[in-house]
Amino acid sequence: MVPAAIEVLTAAAAKCGFVLEFRHFDWSCQTYLKTGKMMPDDGLDRLRDHDAVFLGAVGFPGVPDHISLWGLLLPIRREFEQYVNLRPVRLLPGIASPLRDKAPGDIDFWVVRENSEGEYSQIGGRTGTGENEIVVQQAIFTRRGTDRILRYAFDFARRSGRRHVTSATKSNGLYHSMPFWDERFAAIGAEYPDVAADQYHVDILAARFVISPERFNVVVGSNLFGDILSDLGPGITGTIAVAPSANLNPERRFPSMFEPVHGSAPDIAGQGIANPIGQIWSGAMMLEHLGEDEAAALVMRALEASLIAPDIEKTPDLGGNGTTAGFAEAIRTKLLG
């Protein structure tokens, strides 16, 4: 999928008169099976001087997920302080929502997910054996980490003209972390009197994504809650195979990373029929991050036009018979045409 998406991005760059230079690193579960490591010891250093990382979906049967992800994706997010995971929840033309009576425009919001701390932590462990075993998993919320993601959400809401931030909480059940989160949400929100703020417990919030998605503009959540909500979002827009994500270091001290939301889909791996749109849309977010707004807009227009073009063969997940390469090539042609 990555090579197919690169073709599209390269075409957009050419049309806008700049050059994208890619360096390829073959770090994957296959690498792990051969070397015992997802990436070389100096992997993070090798990435450090790039402007952005364009990542494909990670995962392979036989490699436990917590190995493949804590060996590649999660260290990159952390080392490069990509503390924002930004994901659009947008109903695209040509893709049917599983929700009744929704048309493009009805569902159009953003999930801003904390991406560097919180529930995803390696602190904890097991003690006791057999019947007596106990497992502890710690979630760590720092004031710095919490404030910066909340501030990003409010800034983003202000910048994008969508002046409404909704916080995902669970302060009625999670005794320490979420009351703290609520406190900080109230404190940071007070700095943005021009942005409306409200909050829901994550359980009812998930239900509201289904019942009244129109009411959301920017939804901010912890690492785990943001993860769940930003898969549920593509669920309600029918775009699980299509949704993109940006792992951002907003200060640009380190490279940001762009990847599709979907997993590596081992059931169809190697068949060449996976939908390339998540990867391409992620590429458009990358172009925007690099300051190439015009190229990003070109890609998005070509992508949306291709989704409703009757003569373009789509991949099987969209009901077509097309291949990854064929569908991406059609998008590229549309972009150039």
Residues that bind a second copy (CB under 8 A): 59, 64-66, 68-70, 74, 96-100, 119-122, 124-126, 128, 130-144, 170-180, 201-204, 206-211, 223-224, 227-228, 230-232, 234-236, 238, 240, 263
Give the whole-angstrom CA distance, residue 173 versus residue 163: 29
* CB-based contact 178:170 (threshold 8 Å): yes
Spatial distance between the Cα atoms of 41 and 47, rounded to a whole number of angstroms: 12
What residues form DSSP beta bridges with 256? 52
Chain residues 55-114 in contact with ligand IPM, contact rule CB under 6 A: 69
Nearer CB in complex with ligand IPM: 96/207:
207
DSSP SS3 for 245: strand
**Residue 207 binding result from a second copy, ligand IPM, none, given CB thresholds of 5 to 8 Å by partner type:** a second copy
Smallest separation, CB 138 to a second copy (Å): 5
Question: Whole-angstrom Cα distance, residue 184 to residue 189?
Answer: 8
Q: Which is nearer to a second copy, 68 or 323 (CB)?
A: 68
Residue placing its CB nearer to a second copy in the complex, 169 or 323: 169
Instruction: Pick one of a second copy, ligand IPM, none as the site partner of residue 131 (Cβ within 5 to 8 A by kind).
Output: a second copy
Q: Which residues, 6 or more positions from 34, have their beta carbon under 8 angstroms from its beta carbon?
A: none
Burial of 59 (0-12, 13-18, 19+ CB in 10 A): middle
Of 174 and 309, the one with the shorter C-beta distance to ligand IPM is 174
Q: Please select the residue that binds ligand IPM; options are 173, 207, 301, 313, rule is CB under 6 A.
A: 173
For helices 324-336 and 293-308, give the axis angle rounded to 10 degrees. 120
Binders of ligand IPM: how many residues, by CB under 6 A? 5
Binding pattern to ligand IPM, positions 188-207, x when CB under 6 A?
Answer: ---------------x----
- By CB under 6 A, the residues from 198 to 257 that bind ligand IPM are 203, 227
- Report how far residue 86's alpha carbon sits from residue 91's, in angstroms, rounded to the nearest whole number: 16
> CB 297 → ligand IPM: shortest distance, Å?
25
Count the Cβ atoms, other than its own, within 10 Å of residue 234.
24
Q: Which of residues 22-41 bind ligand IPM (CB under 6 A)?
A: none
Nearest 5°: phi and psi at 265?
45, 60
What single letter denotes the amino acid at residue 172?
Answer: N
Residues in the chain: 337
The burial class, CB within 10 Å (0-12 / 13-18 / 19+), for 271 is exposed
Residue 119 or 155 having the CB closest to a second copy: 119
Binder to ligand IPM among 35, 137, 172, 321 (CB under 6 A)?
172
Q: Which residues bind ligand IPM (CB under 6 A)?
A: 69, 172-173, 203, 227
